[in-house]
Amino acid sequence: MLERIGVSSSKVRTPSELAGVDGLILPGGESTTISKLARIFDMFEPLQAAISQGLPVFGTCAGLILLADKIIDGTSDQETFGGLDAVVRRNAFGGQTESFETELAFEGIDGGPVEAAFIRAPVIESVGPKAKVLSSLPNGKVVAIRQDNLLGISFHPEISGETRVHEYFVREFVESK
Ligand code: GLN
C-alpha cells in the first residue's frame, strides 16, 4: 500500500529497525499472536515506548486491538500496547464467514465513501474523551478513531485497494509532524 502511494517502507522486527522509522503500521492478523511475538522478540517495551513518545502509529484490525487501552473478548493473558483511550471488542461480528465489505463515510477523507473489508473484525465499543471518532457503520458501531499520534481502524482498506486511509495517515500523522 505504501509503495502504491509513493512512500518508502521497511519491515520493523527489531528495536533498532523501529528507531529508524518516521511512522509505523501495525497490520491486521492475529492480535494474540502479534503481542506474544512482540514479547518473545523483545519488541513489546520498545513499541510501547515509541507509542507513548509520539511515533505516528496506524493500527488496522488486529493493529487497532493492539493500540486499545482496554479490550473485550481477549484471551485471559492477552496484552495490548495501549495508547488509544477506547475499549475494543475482538471478533465483534463473529467468525471468518461473517466477514464483509462495505462503504463508509470517513471524516477527513474526500472523494466518496471509503471501501472497507471487515475480516473477523473488532469494533470500538466505547471511546474516551481523548479520542475522536472518524467513521461508524450505519448501525452506529464505531470503526475508526484517532488520538494524538495514533490512528486505529477496524477494517482492512488494502483488501479493496483503497489507498486513501493510508494517504490520510501519512498526510495527517507523519508528514505533519
Ligand atoms: N480477529 C483478529 C484478532 O483478534 C483480528 C483480525 C484481523 O486483523 N483481520 O486479532
Q: What is the pLDDT of residues 53-83, one digit of tens each?
A: 999 999 999 999 999 999 999 999 999 999 9
Determine the distance separating the centroid of ligand 1 and the alpha carbon of 94, expressed in angstroms: 11
- Torsion sign over Cα 35, 153, 119, 136: positive
Q: What is the pLDDT of residue 51?
A: 98
Whether 162 contacts 66, CB under 8 Å? no
Whether 157 contacts 5, CB under 8 Å? no
50 lies in some domain: yes
3 lies in some domain: no
17 lies in some domain: no
H or E segment at 166? Answer: helix 164-169
130 lies in some domain: yes
Q: Which residues contact 78 (CB under 8 A, 6 or more apart)?
A: 31, 32, 35, 71
Residues 8-57 have pLDDT tens digits of 999 999 999 999 999 999 999 999 999 999 999 999 999 999 999 999 99
42 lies in some domain: yes
DSSP state of 171: I
Angstrom distance (rounded) from CA 93 to CA 89? 10
Supply the CATH number for residue 39's domain: 3.40.50.880
For the CA of 28, the nearest atom of ligand 1: 8
Tell me whether residue 45 is one of the annotated catalytic residues.
no
Q: Which residues contact 125 (CB under 8 A, 6 or more apart)?
A: 72, 86, 87, 88, 89, 92, 142
**Count of domains for the chain:** 1
Find out whether the beta carbon of 158 lies less than 6 Å from any atom of ligand 1.
Answer: no
Find out whether the beta carbon of 60 lies less than 6 Å from any atom of ligand 1.
Answer: no
1 lies in some domain: no
For the CA of 33, the nearest atom of ligand 1: 10
Angstrom distance (rounded) from CA 63 to CA 34? 9
| Entry pTM | 0.97
Whether 5 contacts 43, CB under 8 Å? no
pLDDT band at 135 (very low <50, low <70, confident <90, very high): very high
Cell numbers found for residue 164 = 486513501
2 lies in some domain: no
- Torsion sign over Cα 55, 58, 62, 64: positive
pLDDT band at 177 (very low <50, low <70, confident <90, very high): confident
18 lies in some domain: no
Phi and psi torsions of 25, nearest 5°: -110, 120
Three-state DSSP state, 102: strand
Task: Spot the catalytic one: 115, 156, 162, 167.
Answer: 156
